[in-house]
Copies of this chain bind each other. A is one copy, B any other.
Amino acid sequence: MKQYEHPPADAFELTAVLHALADPYRLFVVRSLAQVQPQPCAPLQAGRPKSSTSHHFMVLRKAGIVRTEVVGTAHMNSLRDAELEARFPGLLVSVLNAAENIPLEACAQPAS
């Protein structure tokens, strides 16, 4: 059974977190999970090919932003928000607040 790797909280790197959040689709995933979590990957794909989605989720996991756990046949994603808040206080919250003026659906679309 596939298991995903997740860095420990003390290995989170600030520039990796910022890089992970700097992409519109990844920001869409983070905002969606902030509203409802955990969620499987499928409703978060937003019409993207699975290979693209997998890459973006890997970036989010490596940065320490998302945890993916295998539950039966589903791969359930959640934010590591408490760990991020402990390590980089106020960062994720300020990004989520700043993103509120961007329509969530607009972020999900592949760049045209």
Q: Chain A interface (Cβ within 8 Å of chain B)?
A: 14-16, 18-19, 21-24, 27, 87-91, 93-95, 97-99, 102
Report how far A93 CA is from B91 CA in the complex, Å: 9
Residue of B nearest to A98 (CB): B88
**Prevailing SS type, chain A contact patch:** helix
Contact status of A18 and B22, CB under 8 A, knowing A88-B98, A94-B91:
yes
Please tell me which one of the listed residues B16, B19, B91, B99 contacts residue A14 in the complex, with CB atoms under 8 A apart: B99
Do B19 and A22 touch across chains, with their CB atoms under 8 A apart? yes
Do B94 and A89 touch across chains, with their CB atoms under 8 A apart? yes
Residue of B nearest to A91 (CB): B94
Pairs across A and B, CB under 8 Å, 24 listed: A14-B95, A14-B98, A14-B99, A14-B102, A15-B21, A15-B22, A15-B24, A15-B27, A16-B22, A18-B18, A18-B19, A18-B22, A19-B22, A87-B98, A88-B94, A89-B94, A89-B97, A89-B98, A90-B93, A91-B94, A91-B95, A91-B98, A93-B94, A94-B94
